[in-house]
Amino acid sequence: MALTILAVDDSRTMRDMLSFALKGAGFDVSVAEDGVHGLEVLPDVCPDVIITDMNMPRMDGLGFIKGVRSDNSFRAIPILVLTTESGAELKAKAREAGATGWIVKPFDKDKLVAAIRRIAA
Amino acid sequence: MDPMEEIKQTFFIECEDLLEELNDGLTAMSDGSADAETVNAVFRAAHSIKGGAGAFALDDLVRFAHKFETTLDEVRQERLEVNADLMSVFLRSGDMLADLVHSSRDGVDIDAVAVDELIAELEAFCGSDDAAGGETEEKTDFQPMALDLDLDLDLGLGEEEEPSPPSLNAFNILFRPRKELYANGNETSFLLRALTDLGTVTSKCDFSNVPLLDELDPEGACLEWRITVTTEFDEAQVREVFDFVESD
């Protein structure tokens, strides 16, 4: 059975790009526009892996990760941060919030797929 | 149409919305009616344009958007105060960003000197060697990915303890996760499985630190593994398996 990925990014371009890349690799992909939307769709999507941007309106990536980790039903889901930023301080905050891994945009499709397979059943 | 070309067209359409948002925000900043969220929205617009442009290797657009975004971030972080001089640069930067988006879309050249001059004006406010500037040096076009490789987990790697065929390396690994590894959604069995993709793996799990049931922390970490990987890959590639758990 295909793994389900929830991609959370406020950029439609990035959502389309992730959908295209990950569907092509055999994953089921759902998308959300920001952290609030991501938490809303989480119970319906029940993803195996979450990929999230950091800079988003309404609720940023840190808030979203904390929201996922605070919900007992979803706290064990691996979360990859996908962002243009690579600052050590922000990485540390993301890790503290519960991020599983960190990938810098623009991303390599094959390496992203390999990273997903490394953290998901 | 090629799917990536279709997504590129979506990017340029999205840019129009982002540019409108950016200009609305700059206008509010200019007339003094902006609040923190307005500055955030302007920053995010420049940031999103940069992110999408990077995916399509629109390097001139990335370079300018990055400098614009960096200067906006200084304002956002309250390290830089908005005044008439800065607003003048911001408003012209908004126009330049639009010009660069349109020139990228239409495949026409833009006055590179004018771009460089405006970048120099932005750098007068934000500096020329900001830490994030390295991002623009990365090759774009849907290719590069930076991963954390500086491990500090308790991962003892010992190379070539046993005789191996000349083209193979043998690594002895002591893998002792902390509970944060599990709390952040990582799973030791997946990491061990990933090692098997590299070559032949033997592992021994040490249960000696597992307490009696009434003392067991269900969210704790008390197992450790002694692993031998025989592989044609080098140490960096073995370490890459553990790159997401560097401090866990």
For residues B77 and B30, state if they share a domain. yes
A17–B contact, CB cutoff 8 A: yes
pLDDT of residue B128: 74
For residues B21 and B60, state if they share a domain. yes
* Alpha-carbon gap, residue A23 to A18, rounded angstroms: 8
Instruction: Work out the percent of chain B whose per-residue pLDDT is above 90.
Output: 50
A63–B contact, CB cutoff 8 A: no
* Alpha-carbon gap, residue B185 to B245, rounded angstroms: 10
Measuring CA to CA, which residue among B172, B173, B189 is closest to residue B181? B189
Asked whether the predicted pLDDT for residue B159 surpasses 60, the reply is no
pLDDT tier at B17, thresholds 50, 70, 90? very high
A56–B contact, CB cutoff 8 A: yes
Residues 6+ apart with CB under 8 A from B175: B153, B154, B155, B188, B191, B224, B225, B226, B227, B242
Q: What pLDDT, in 10s, does the model give residues B188-205? A: 888 888 888 899 999 999
8-state DSSP, B155: E
* Residue B145 in domain: no
Nearest to B143 among A11, A106, A121 (CB): A106
Domain count, chain B: 2
For residues B21 and B112, state if they share a domain. yes
B96, B120 Cβ separation under 8 angstroms:
no
pLDDT of residue A70: 94
For residues B111 and B223, state if they share a domain. no
Task: Please report, for the domain that includes residue B176, its CATH number.
Answer: 3.30.1360
* Alpha-carbon gap, residue B93 to B50, rounded angstroms: 14
For residues B190 and B104, state if they share a domain. no
Which one of B137, B172, B194 terminates a domain?
B137
A11·B7 Cβ contact <8 A: no
Q: Is the dihedral of CA A14, A19, A22, A25 positive or negative?
A: negative
Secondary structure of B156-201 in HEC code, one letter for each residue: EEEECCCCCCCCCEEEEEEECCCHHHHHCCCCHHHHHHHHHCCEEE
Among B68, B149, B244, B246, the strongest candidate for a mutation testing the A interface, having the largest count of A CBs within 10 A, is B244
Both tokens of residue A99?
A: 């991020």
pLDDT of residue A8: 98
Q: Distances from the Cα of A5 to the Cαs of A19, A120, B232, in angstroms?
A: 9, 10, 32
Q: What is the mean pLDDT of chain B?
A: 83
pLDDT of residue B3: 87
* Residue B62 in domain: yes
Q: Which residues of B touch A98 (CB under 8 A)?
A: 183-185
Measuring CA to CA, which residue among B96, B89, B82, B84 is closest to residue B34? B82
A111–B contact, CB cutoff 8 A: yes
* Residue B142 in domain: no
* Residue B196 in domain: yes
pLDDT of residue B155: 53
pLDDT tier at B166, thresholds 50, 70, 90? low
Enumerate the domain spans of chain A.
63-107
Residues 6+ apart with CB under 8 A from B203: B192, B225, B226, B227, B228
Q: What pLDDT, in 10s, does the model give residues B49-83? A: 999 999 899 999 999 999 999 999 999 999 999 99
pLDDT 10s digit of each residue in chain A, 121 long?
Answer: 799 999 999 999 999 999 999 999 999 999 999 999 999 999 999 999 999 999 999 999 999 999 999 999 998 999 999 988 878 888 888 989 999 998 988 888 998 998 898 888 6
Give the residue on A whose Cα is nearest the Cα of B50.
A84
Phi, psi at A29, each rounded to 5°: -130, 130
pLDDT of residue B129: 58
Q: Which residues of B touch A69 (CB under 8 A)?
A: 183
* Residue B22 in domain: yes
Give every strand in the sheet of A28-32, ordered side by side: A28-32, A4-8, A49-52, A79-83, A101-104
For residues B98 and B162, state if they share a domain. no
For residues B128 and B172, state if they share a domain. no
pLDDT of residue A54: 93
pLDDT of residue A58: 92
Measuring CA to CA, which residue among A44, A101, A71, A27 is closest to residue B145? A101
* Alpha-carbon gap, residue B184 to A100, rounded angstroms: 5
Q: What is the mean pLDDT of residues B107-133?
A: 83
Residue B124: which domain range? 3-137
* Alpha-carbon gap, residue B151 to B26, rounded angstroms: 43
Residue at B222: amino acid letter: C
Asked whether the predicted pLDDT for residue B149 surpasses 50, the reply is no
